[in-house]
């Protein structure tokens, strides 16, 4: 959520900044609601003050043994006036909040102009795609031909967009998770954390998935009598970031860096027909997520640092990749700036997203009321959140299968992973 004060005081600048993501802020609607809010709030609070002081007087009179009947008569019509004012204010506040919650974050100055993925700007490239002297196969062919990847059985068990892995490929998948967690905890200063994979609405609101993106989530059929509604997490970002919802962190505890491995569940409602083959786009996948809670003046630097941490994984695995900065039109709702890391996939002859690293500044923190105590002011202030995948495990697996495929149909294991595979050098 953006700062309501900023919108009130400088709505034109905010609206102009949002045009970079092709979002049109309804200035008229906002101002109309805001003006009503202001006068109604002043009126309501005046009535409340009146009620409070009269009630106090009644209390005093009663204590003094006086007759309070005349005082009660005086206060009679105040009550109904106040009730209607409060009700109007509540309704108005609710629509104002709704409007406010729908406004996306303001893109950073670094974010390039553009409408779609095609307008993202490449800023870096690492590694040289291997030249193959045999026909390149995709991960589906590679994995199924050795009987260790199975989409048909997965479809039987559940449905489309799921996978079953067997033997060495399943082990490789697990090895990747261990490897990533180890690197981030021992070399990059992250604290490992384990969290629930089912969250409530408040958590999803905090990170910005709700109310706008409910269609992308799996909602659990919970007891209709209960008011609680549960969802499967679309990313560990949700539970991990919400650890500090409604909390005030001591300055000495900053920055907080957490790494979390979790499954992710996405209904991918808007993507039918895209990447239907293989495990590029699944309803369930594993991810190692990096989350940082930092001082406001440190979030820009933290994003660069975190992106480096994710890149390190690709480099250690010797997978060629490039880094792009998302253009305004491709930027996610809550982010001010996002880098995507894209790994080389030989079968597609292109780079595909394997990590997304974003700075949210105080946008999520405001929704979550996640604060830190600024020692300079002594006051609680919103902190900044930064996160990114480090990395998406399923897609990393695909990248290894494809980039390390051999002419004989086997797959070489990247050197650094061999220790995590009991010394195994090759999958066949």
Q: Rounded to the nearest whole angstrom, what is the least distance from the CB of residue 27 to RNA in the complex?
A: 18
Burial of 322 (C-beta count, 10 Å sphere; 0-12/13-18/19+): middle
Residue of the chain from 26, 27, 79, 110 that contacts RNA (CB under 7 A):
79
312 near RNA, judged by CB under 7 A: no
Cβ 128 vs Cβ 73: under 8 Å? no
45 near RNA, judged by CB under 7 A: yes
Q: Rounded to the nearest whole angstrom, what is the least distance from the CB of residue 205 to RNA in the complex?
A: 13
Cis peptide before 391 (omega within 30 of 0): yes
Structure tokens at 174: 């697990």
Cβ count near 358 (within 10 Å): 25
| 333-392 residues near RNA, rule: CB under 7 A | 371, 379-380
- Site stretch for RNA (CB under 7 A), options 11-19, 69-77, 141-149, 176-184: 69-77
59 near RNA, judged by CB under 7 A: yes
Binding mask 141-180 for RNA (x = CB under 7 A): ----------------------------------------
- Site stretch for RNA (CB under 7 A), options 17-25, 42-50, 389-397, 416-424: 42-50
Q: Rounded to the nearest whole angstrom, what is the least distance from the CB of residue 396 to RNA in the complex?
A: 29
75 near RNA, judged by CB under 7 A: yes
276 near RNA, judged by CB under 7 A: no
Helix (H) and strand (E) counts in the chain: 13, 17
In 3D, which of 134, 154, 135 has the Cα closest to residue 144?
154
Strand, coil or helix: what is 236? coil
Angle, helices 393-403 vs 167-186, to 10°: value is: 120
62 near RNA, judged by CB under 7 A: yes
Dist CA 338 CA 357 (whole Å): 5
Residue of the chain from 24, 63, 133, 159 that contacts RNA (CB under 7 A):
63
Radius of gyration of the chain (CA): 27
Structure tokens at 184: 């981030």
φ, ψ at 356 (rounded to 5°): -135, 120
φ, ψ at 43 (rounded to 5°): -65, -45
Q: Of 45 and 425, which has the nearer Cβ to RNA?
A: 45
Residue of the chain from 12, 24, 228, 422 that contacts RNA (CB under 7 A):
228
128 near RNA, judged by CB under 7 A: no
Cβ 284 vs Cβ 154: under 8 Å? no
- Site stretch for RNA (CB under 7 A), options 157-165, 219-227, 271-279, 392-400: 219-227
Binding positions for RNA, rule: CB under 7 A: 4-5, 38, 41-42, 45-46, 48-49, 51-56, 58-60, 62-63, 72, 75-76, 79, 90, 225-228, 248, 371, 379-380
């Amino acid at each position: 959520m953006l700062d309501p004060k900023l919108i009130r005081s400088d709505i034109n600048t905010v609206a102009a900044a949002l045009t970079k993501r092709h979002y049109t802020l309804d200035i008229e609607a906002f101002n109309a609601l805001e003006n009503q809010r202001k006068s109604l709030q002043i009126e309501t609070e005046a009535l409340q003050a009146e009620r409070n002081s009269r009630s106090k007087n009644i209390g005093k009179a009663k204590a003094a043994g006086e007759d309070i009947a005349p005082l009660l008569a005086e206060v009679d019509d105040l009550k109904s006036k106040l009730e209607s004012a409060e009700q109007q204010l509540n309704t108005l506040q609710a629509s104002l909040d709704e409007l406010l919650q729908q406004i996306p974050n303001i893109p950073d100055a670094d974010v390039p102009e553009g409408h779609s993925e095609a307008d993202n700007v490449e800023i870096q490239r690492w590694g040289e795609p291997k030249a193959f002297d045999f026909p390149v196969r995709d991960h589906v062919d590679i994995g199924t031909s050795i009987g260790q990847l199975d989409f048909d059985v997965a479809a039987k068990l559940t449905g489309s967009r799921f996978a079953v892995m067997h033997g060495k490929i399943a082990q490789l998948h697990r090895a990747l998770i261990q490897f990533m967690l180890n690197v981030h905890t021992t070399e990059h200063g992250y604290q490992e954390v384990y969290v629930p994979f089912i969250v409530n609405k408040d958590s999803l609101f905090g990170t910005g998935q709700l109310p706008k993106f409910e269609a992308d989530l799996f909602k659990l059929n919970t007891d209709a009598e209960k008011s609680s509604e549960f969802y499967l997490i679309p990313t560990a970002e949700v539970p991990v970031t919400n650890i500090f919802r409604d909390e005030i962190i001591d300055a000495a505890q900053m920055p907080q860096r957490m790494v979390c491995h979790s499954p992710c569940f996405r209904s991918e409602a808007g993507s039918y027909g895209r990447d239907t083959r293989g495990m590029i786009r699944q309803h369930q996948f594993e991810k190692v997520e990096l989350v940082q809670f930092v001082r406001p003046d440190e979030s820009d630097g933290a994003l660069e640092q975190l992106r480096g941490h994710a890149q390190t994984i690709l480099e250690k695995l010797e997978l060629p990749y490039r880094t792009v900065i998302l253009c305004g039109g491709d930027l996610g709702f809550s982010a001010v700036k996002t880098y995507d890391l894209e790994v080389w996939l030989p079968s597609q002859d292109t780079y595909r997203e394997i990590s997304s690293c974003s700075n949210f500044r105080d946008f999520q923190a405001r929704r979550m009321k996640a604060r830190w105590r600024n020692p300079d002011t002594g006051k609680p202030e919103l902190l900044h959140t930064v996160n990114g995948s480090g990395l998406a495990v399923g897609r990393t697996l695909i990248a290894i299968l494809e980039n390390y495929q051999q002419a004989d149909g086997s797959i070489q294991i990247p050197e650094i992973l061999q220790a995590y595979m009991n010394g195994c050098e090759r999958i066949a």
